[in-house]
Amino acid sequence: MTSTMWRSTLRTFAKKILHTSSVRAPQIRFLSVTTSYCQSYSPIGSLDQPRILITGGLGQLGQGLAKVLRKRYGRDNVILTDIVKPPRHIVDAGPYAFVDVLDFRNLQEIIVNESIDWMVHFSAVLSAVGEQNVPLAIKVNIQGLHNVMELAKMYNLRIFCPSTIGAFGPQSPRELTPDLTIQRPRTIYGVAKVHAELLGEYYHHKFGVDFRSLRLPGVISGDTAPGGGTTDPTLFSQVHQLPFSIHDRSISIHFSSPVPPVSLRPNLSDLIIIVYIFLLVLLLLLLVHHQYFKVHFPLVVESLIDVAFPR
C-alpha cells in the first residue's frame, strides 16, 4: 500500500470513529456504506426539564442511563421502572416504580400521573432466554412494544427503543453491512427488534410519533449481572477467571485477563492495558486486510443519549 493510500485509509477510518460537532440537534451517524437517507429534525418543544420514564430499568442499560439523565435533568425527573423489587441503592438513587409493560392500564397510569414526556423502552426478553421461552418473548418484546407505541401516540411522547445487531441474519452481508439490507434474523429476539424498527417508522410517518432507535451490539454492563443475552458467556468468563478469544478469518488472538470473583469491575490499569491491546489488534487487522473497519468507540450510554436526548 502506498503512503498516499495509507493516509487516505487512515483519514477515512478516523472519520468513521470520531464524531465532532457543535450542533445540538440529533446527529445520525452512519458507520456503513449506506447513503444517508434519514432527514434531520429538531427536538420537539423546548423542555428544559423533561419527565423521563425508563422501562426495564434494572437491566444492563437502565441504571447507567438513569445516572447520566438525572445529572442532566434532575434526580426526580427520571423514573426507573421494572417488575422486580429493587435493591436499596436503586431506591436511594432516585424515583422507582413497578411497571409491567404488558399491563396497558398500569403503564398508562404512571405516564399520566407522573406527567411523562419521554420514554425509554428497555423491557425485553433477551436472545438466549427468548429461545428457551418463545411465547414469553413474543408477549414481552412485541405486545409490550405495541402498548408503549400506542401510549406514545396518545400522549405525544418521545420514545427511544433500542434495536440490536441480532436484527441481522445469516443472509445479511457480513462486511460493510449497509443500514438498509436483507435482515431475516433467526432468533425471536431479532425478529421482534426488526418488528420494532418497522413499527416505529410506521408510527412516525402515520401519527408523527418521535421514535428513535440504535442497533446496539452485545452489551456488558458494569451495573448489573447478565440478563440472558449473547454476551453473557464473555462476562461469565471474566468473573470466573476464564480466558476468552477474539477470532478473525486470518488471525486468532487469545486474551486472558481474569477479574477477581469478588468484583465485576477490573481495575484501571487492567482496563488501560486491554484498550491498548484492542487498538493494536485493530491496527494489525487493518494492515492484514488493507481496508478500514466499521468501528465506533463511544460508550453505549453516551451514543444512546446523543440520539434519544440531544441537547
Give the CA count within 13 Å in the CB-facing half-sphere of 77: 14
pLDDT at 96: 97
Domain boundaries in the chain?
A: 52-220+298-308
Dihedral sign for Cα atoms in the order 222, 226, 228, 231: positive
Single out the residue of 15, 1, 19 nearest to residue 302, CA to CA. Answer: 19
CA 69 to the chain's CA centroid: 15
Mean pLDDT, contiguous 10-residue spans, the chain (311 residues): 53 46 39 41 59 93 91 95 94 96 97 96 90 94 97 96 88 81 89 95 96 82 57 46 40 41 48 63 59 47 67 65
The answer to whether 57 touches 82, Cβ cutoff 8 Å, is yes
Q: Cβ distance 229 to 60 under 8 Å?
A: yes
DSSP strand pairing (118-121 vs 210-212): unpaired
pLDDT of residue 287: 58
Torsion angle of the four alpha carbons 277, 219, 37, 7, in this order, in degrees rounded to the nearest 10: 0
Whole-number pLDDT of residue 223: 61
Query: For residues 56 and 303, what is the distance between their CA atoms, to the nearest angstrom?
Result: 19
| CATH architecture classification, 52-220+298-308 | 3-Layer(aba) Sandwich (3.40)
Phi then psi for 282, rounded to 5 degrees?
-60, -40
pLDDT at 30: 40
Q: Which three cell numbers stand for residue 154?
A: 396518545
pTM higher than 0.85? no
Look up 189 and say whether it is catalytic: yes
Q: How far apart are the first and last CA of the chain?
A: 42
Which residue, among 173, 83, 177, 193, has the nearest Cα to 127 in the 3D structure?
193
Residue 285: partners with Cβ closer than 8 Å, 6 or more residues away: 248, 250, 251, 293
Q: What is the pLDDT of residue 24?
A: 40
Question: Catalytic pick from 73, 96, 189, 203?
Answer: 189
Whole-number pLDDT of residue 192 = 95
User: Please, are residues 310 and 304 in contact by the beta-carbon 8 Å criterion?
Assistant: no
